[in-house]
Structure 1
Amino acid sequence: MRRPLLFLLAIVTAAMLSACLTIENKVTLRADGSGEQVATVDLGEMISNPFFKMAMEEEMAKNGKPEGEQSVDSTWVMLDQLGPLNPDWSAGERDLVGRANGRMYINFEEGVGYVKTFFAFDDVAQIAQFNALMAKANKPEEENPMAGFGGQDGMLSSYTLQGKKFTCTSSVSPDFVNPMANSDLGEEGAEMMKQMFSDASIIYTLELPGKVKKVKGFPGHTVEGKTLTQVIPFLDLMDKPQALVNALSGEVKFK
C-alpha cells in the first residue's frame, strides 16, 4: 500500500474523533525479561458508521484501492517508514526501531477493524527507550492529522524486572500538550471535543510469566491469573495526566 504511515494516521484520527475509541497498550513479559509490547486501536464499533466508511473509501482511493473495496489488510516495518526521516539515529536506535512493525486490518463485511503496532524487546528497559525515541522522532508532516496529538498518550513509563518482581514508574512527558486545551478550539470547540471523547478509554495490560501474588500501587487495577489490567478514561489522561502517575506506577510480585 502506498503511504502506509499517512494512511494509518488518517484512520486512527478518524477513530479518535468518535465516542467509541478504545486503545489497549499491552506488555507481555517472559521470565528472562524479554517480551512484546502491542498497542491496539480497536475500530470494531466504527465499522457500521457511514461517515467512517466514507472517510475510509476516500483514503482507499488515494492509496490506489478499487472503488467499492470493502477491506484493507496492510503491514509495515516502522524503520522503513521513519528511518529516512531520522538520518541521525545511531545504529542502536535503528536496531530498536527495526524491531517494531504494524498491521492495519479493516473488513466492513466482517465488522472487524483494528490497527496494531508490535515491538519486541530483549529487556524491559528497551520499552522506555523505544517509546522515548518514538516520542521525539520526526514523522511525516504532509497530511499528518495526528500532529496535534503527537501520537503519544502523554505518559512516560520505565520498567524493571528483578527476579519475580516487576516495577513500573511513570511520569508525564515534558513534551505533553493537552489537545483539548488548544486555544484555537475556543470554549465551544473544546466542549465538543470532550463530548466526542466522553466514552473513550485506554487499557493498560500487563501479562506476567507467572500468576500474580501481590500488587503494590496501580490503584484501581484488576487481576486475573497472570494478568493485571488498568482502564483509564481518555479524558482523565488528557485533562489531568499528573493525577494518573500513581495509577500507572507500582510493583507486582508473581509466582
Structure 2
Amino acid sequence: MLLKNSLLVLLTTTLFTLTSCLDIVEDLLIKDDGSGTYTLTMDFGRMMSDPFMREMMMSTLAEEGSLTAGDMEMDTTMYFDNMPAPPAGVYANIWKEANMHVTLSEKDSKLQSRITIPFAQMSDIAYAFDAMGTDEDAGTMLSGGGIFSEAGFDFSLNGTELQRNRFQMSEELMDDEEAEFIKLFIGDATFTTYYHLPGKVKSTSIADAVVEGNEVTVIYNLLDLMEGNSSNGGSIKFRK
C-alpha cells in the first residue's frame, strides 16, 4: 500500500475521537449493464477549520514523520494491490482499480479520504468490504472505522429494482463498554447517500429519500443510524 501507515492510523483514530467533525458521503453509480462504481468519502474539513483541532492533527502528523513542519500538504493514493486475487464470479480487476485517495491541506483547511470500489455486479461491493475486513488497516477504513457491520454495504439488483440492507451497528462495538463514549463524539455528523440509477426513478421505499429524475438522495444523522432510530434500508424501482 502506498499510503503511510502513520497517516492511516491517524485517520482511523480521528474517525473515532472527532466524528462530530466528520461528514460521510457514499455515492453509488449504476450503469445500464449493472456495473458501476461505489465511493465512500470521509470529509474532515470541519475539523481542519477549527484552529485547535487542526493544530492537533498537524502536530501528530509531524511527530509521526508523515509531514514536515511548514509542509502540511499531501495528495496521495493508496492501492489495495496486496489483496489476494478475487474468486471466480467477482470482478477480476477489483483490486487493480480500487483505491483510497487522501487529500490534506492546511492552507485550504482540507482533509478528505475517498475510497473507490469498482464493481461488475452489486455483490462485488459486499465482497470488497468483507475481504478488506481481513486486512487490519484497510478493513478499518473501509468499514467506517468499525462503526457499521458489512451488512450495511449489501446491495442487490434485480432487473430494475435496487435493494439494500440497512446499516447495522457492529456487534463488537455494541458489546464494547466504550460504545457509549464513542456516541458522545458523534454530534451532528451526517451520512449522505447519492444513488445514480440507469433510468428514471419510479418509486422508493427508503425513508426521507429525495427523488429527482434518475437520482435519489438521502441525508441521515449518523447517530440516528448507529442507534437504529433511522434506517437506510429499502428499495428503489426505476425505468429503463
In structure 2, the partner of 1:252 is 237
Task: Output the CA distance in 2 between the equivalents of 1:194 and 1:61.
Answer: 28
TM-score for both structures, normalised by structure 2: 0.81
1:155-191 deviation line (CA, Å, top 9, x unaligned): 24222141xx132131566x922636522x3xxx82x
**Separation (CA, whole Å) in 2 of partners of 1:55 and 1:110:** 14
1:6: how far off? 4.6
Q: Which amino acid aligns with 1:52?
A: R
Distance 1:169 1:66, change over 3 A: closer
Q: Taking structure 1 as reference, are residues 159 and 4 closer, same or farther at Cα in structure 2, changes over 3 Å only?
A: farther
Match in the other structure for 2:164: 169
**2:215 alignment partner in structure 1:** 227
State the shift of 1:251 in Å.
2.6
Specify the alignment match of 1:23 in structure 2: 24
Residue 41 of structure 1 aligns with which residue? 42
Partner amino acid for 2:4?
A: P
TM-superposed CA distance for 1:36, in Å, is 0.5
Distance 1:60 1:208, change over 3 A: farther
Distance 2:147 2:206 in 1: 21
Report the Cα offset of residue 106 of structure 1.
1.3
Q: Is the 8 A contact 1:13 1:145 kept in 2?
A: no
Q: TM-score, normalised by structure 1?
A: 0.76
Say whether residues 1:139 and 2:124 are aligned partners. Answer: no
Q: Secondary structure in 2 aligned to 1:153?
A: coil
RMSD of Structure 2 on Structure 1 (CA) = 3.2
Change in Cα spacing, 1:101 to 1:60, as seen in structure 2 (3 Å) is farther
Question: Which amino acid is the alignment partner of residue 105 of structure 1?
Answer: T
Distance 1:91-1:123 versus aligned 2 partners, 3 A rule: closer
Report the Cα distance in structure 2 between the residues aligned to 1:235 and 1:32, rounded to whole angstroms: 35
CA distance in 1, matches of 2:196, 2:176: 36
Structure 2 residue runs of 5 or longer lacking an equivalent are none
> Residue 118 of structure 1 aligns with which residue?
116
Stretches of structure 1 lacking an aligned partner (at least 5 in a row): none
Q: How does 1:168-187 map to 2 (within 5 A)?
A: 168-170=163-165, 176-177=170-171, 179=173, 182-183=176-177, 185=178
How far, CA to CA, are the matches of 1:132 and 1:77 in structure 2?
17
Q: How far apart, in 2, do the equivalents of 1:109 and 1:206 lie?
A: 32
Distance 1:236 1:47 in 2: 25
% of aligned pairs identical? Answer: 21
Q: Would the alpha carbon gap of residues 111 and 158 (structure 1) be closer, same or farther in structure 2, given more than 3 Å must change?
A: same
Q: Is the 8 A contact 1:6 1:140 kept in 2?
A: no
The one-letter code of the counterpart of 1:153 is F
Q: What is the CA-CA distance between 1:113 and the residue it aligns to?
A: 2.4
**Given the superposition, is the C-alpha separation of residues 9 and 106 from structure 1 closer, same or farther in structure 2, using an over 3 Å criterion?**
same
Closer, same or farther: CA 103–68 of 1 in aligned 2, 3 Å: same
SS in 2 for 1:45: helix
Contact in 2 for aligned 1:161/1:167 (Cα 8 Å): yes
Aligned position for 2:187: 198
One-letter identity of the residue aligned with 2:73 = S
Task: Please name the residue that 2:226 is paired with.
Answer: 238
Report the Cα distance in structure 2 between the residues aligned to 1:172 and 1:112, rounded to whole angstroms. Answer: 28
